[in-house]
Amino acid sequence: MAPIRVLTALDHARTQYYHFKAIIIAGMGLFTDSYDLFCIVPVMKIIGRVYYPPSTGDDGRPGVTPPAVVSAIVSIALLGAVFGNLLFGVLGDRVGRGRVYGSCLLLLVCSSVGSGFSICRTRGCALTSLCLFRFLLGVGVGGDYPLSATIMSEFANKRTRGAFIAAVFSMQGFGILASSGVTMVVAAAFDRFTGHPAPLDTPEAADIAWRVILMAGAVPAGLTFYWRMAMPETARFTALVQHDVLKATNDIGRVLTDLDLNGIDDDEDAAAIPRTPPWAPPASQYGLFSLAFLRRHGRDLLGCASAWFLLDIPYYSSTLFQSQIYRPWFPPASHQNVFREAYDVARFQAIIAVASTIPGYFAAVLLIDRAGRRRLQMAGFFLMAAFLFALAGPYDHYWRGNAKNAWYIVLYALTFFSANLGPNTTTFILPAELFPARLRSTCHGISAAAGKAGALVGTVGFLWASQAQDRGEVQAGYEPGIGMMNALIILGAICLIGLAVTYLFTPETMGRSLEENEGERGDQDLQDADGGMTMRLQELNLTPKSPASLVSSHVSTSPIHPHRFSV
């Protein structure tokens, strides 16, 4: 009974200083994730000027990184993230969330620094080593997803759990803003230091500038390393997986000082027990690849993974479409030097972050525990589809020739706002709330890996597919594609599929404890086979016990020593 009392007390704990501290500590990995995702766009502009200088027949055009190289550098980090999602997801359940949390952040710091050094200055060597370190960076970023979400969900109380996890995820918005700010500062400083070089004159200092931008991402993550190592193991992992209730109580009592174990009465304790019928397999008897898991949690895992996969296709595609949008607003590359071009790209990213991305995250934090996860996810998918269709419908006939129209930017920004308000946040939250403690990190890692697979489709597939159908309008280095209008229509349709998947497979988890979410889903799945099981029990002259008798039985047979669990 003691484990239930500790966890119920945790669910009813008031919001304290440590909750906000945990948001900052847990959010630094996601901060680094978005920093490296968005800074790589201006970095590729600089690398193109440094390592791919224009030839004599380029008619005054500056060097450009070949699209195949851009795709490789972007996708290698996403492949690393898939591997990290799965690896650290499993380790979080096998070894413990806290024990691998620090090593994940250390990998982020070291690989960020390594990306900047990239060993040497010849093109082949520098780009190869950059790909290697970005793969390792992706592993660290991928590992941070299941660990951060699981840790925050297990520390939070059930009333504000969604807002706390959403706040952790919102650190991505500040990572975007930081990457833009650092890029702008570095580009402006190098531009002034080198004497404002001519548009086609790329000084050697540019090879240092992109390295400084990449290495700067390690600073905020490194600053929180000590506090991440000092975080105690979550009470749910210690109590439910390691079965050490005394340690769980003492650990949580050190960080949440206002935790009233004696204020939880027996009725609340009994209500917190998952109402699992006696014929259901005990938690320790079924694993991830068992039929019991498939019956109890297979629907939830399918819903989480498929929704995340479908979201990341249009979300990451829209990120790369920015070059199609900001190009008319700034001077052509042939009229700017390397630093000014990187500065303008970063400035546009900062504008989008401030105008739509960060407000979307804030709206999610405010609404997630009021409207619910399921409603927000459905609303977000619907709004994303609506805005993508609004961009797609008149694209060839109007938007392509009127890219400076303010409504074009507004509609584009609203797609990011809708994503962050809804599915981009909720897909991060739901896997941390639906699964049992011993499989929570693993299932979140599987869901996140599906999302990164969708990101690969969006960044690589749609980057090439969105090219114009007319070869004369195709960007240098690309092949003709299906055109921007058709690409936007397909992305909008994918959002509608995400809406349908959410409606069919996603349950609501708002306001319930993690144990209640797990128990109720298990009961619902087991009820489908209730008739056959009841007949089998009747043949054996047995009668299923009621939930009340199960609670009484559990209470009467569990050793209770109240004095052992005081904080």
Average confidence (pLDDT) per 10 residues, the chain, 567 residues: 64 83 89 87 91 72 84 91 96 92 91 86 89 94 94 90 95 93 96 90 92 92 87 89 86 75 48 41 68 92 97 85 69 87 91 92 95 96 94 66 71 91 96 94 97 91 72 67 82 96 95 79 41 38 39 36 35
Could you tell me the pTM of the whole model? 0.85
Burial 216-237 (b: 16+ CB within 10 A, else e): bbbebbbebbeebeebbbbbbb
Q: Which residues, including other chains, have CB under 8 Å from residue 17's CB and lie 6 or more apart?
A: none
Give the number of other Cβ atoms within 10 Å of residue 53's Cβ.
12
- The token duo for 134 is 């970005």
CA 479 → CA 66, 72, 460, 544, distances in Å? 12, 16, 13, 66
Contacts of 348 (CB under 8 A, 6+ apart): 322, 325, 326, 329, 330
List of residues 6+ apart from 455 with CB closer than 8 A: 78, 81, 312, 313, 315, 316
Report the distance separating Cα 377 and Cα 50, nearest Å. Answer: 43
Q: Distance (Å, rounded) from C-alpha 401 to C-alpha 63?
A: 26
d(CA 470, CA 466): 12
pLDDT of 475: 66
What's the Cα-to-Cα distance from 160 to each of 170, 419, 459, rounded to whole Å? 15, 21, 34
- What's residue 409's pLDDT? 81
Contact present, 111 and 215 (Cβ < 8 Å):
no
Q: What is the pLDDT of residue 560?
A: 33
The Cα 419–Cα 414 span in angstroms is: 8
**Residue among 508, 472, 500, 469 at smallest CA distance from 485:** 469
Q: Return the pLDDT at 9.
A: 79
Torsion (CA) 169, 174, 178, 180 in degrees, nearest 10 = 100
Q: Give the separation between CA 375 and CA 388, rounded to whole angstroms.
A: 20
- Is residue 181 within 8 Å of residue 350, measured between CB atoms? yes
Within 10 angstroms of residue 291's Cβ, the number of other Cβ atoms is 10
Query: Can you read off the two tokens belonging to residue 459?
Result: 């960044």
Other beta carbons within 10 angstroms of residue 424's beta carbon come to 25
Distance CA 188, CA 169 (A): 30
Q: 232 Cβ partners below 8 Å, 6+ apart? A: 98, 251, 252, 254, 255
Q: What is the pLDDT of residue 274?
A: 44
Two tokens at 481? Answer: 């594609």
Nearest to 482 by CA among 470, 497, 492, 472: 470
Give Cα 291 to chain centroid, integer Å: 29
The half-sphere exposure of 77 on its side-chain side, counting CA atoms within 13 A, is 24
The phi-psi region of residue 94 (left if phi > 0; otherwise alpha if psi is between -120 and 50; otherwise beta) is alpha
Q: Structure tokens of 359?
A: 């407000």
Burial-class residue 521 by CB neighbours within 10 Å (0-12, 13-18, 19+).
buried
Query: CA 449 to CA 433: how far, in whole Å?
Result: 17
Coil, helix or strand for 60?
coil
Q: State residue 56's pLDDT score.
A: 60
Nearest to 12 by CA among 213, 158, 210, 161: 158
Neighbours of 393 (CB within 10 A): 15
What tokens were used for 106?
């250390």
- Token pair of 92, please? 């979080």
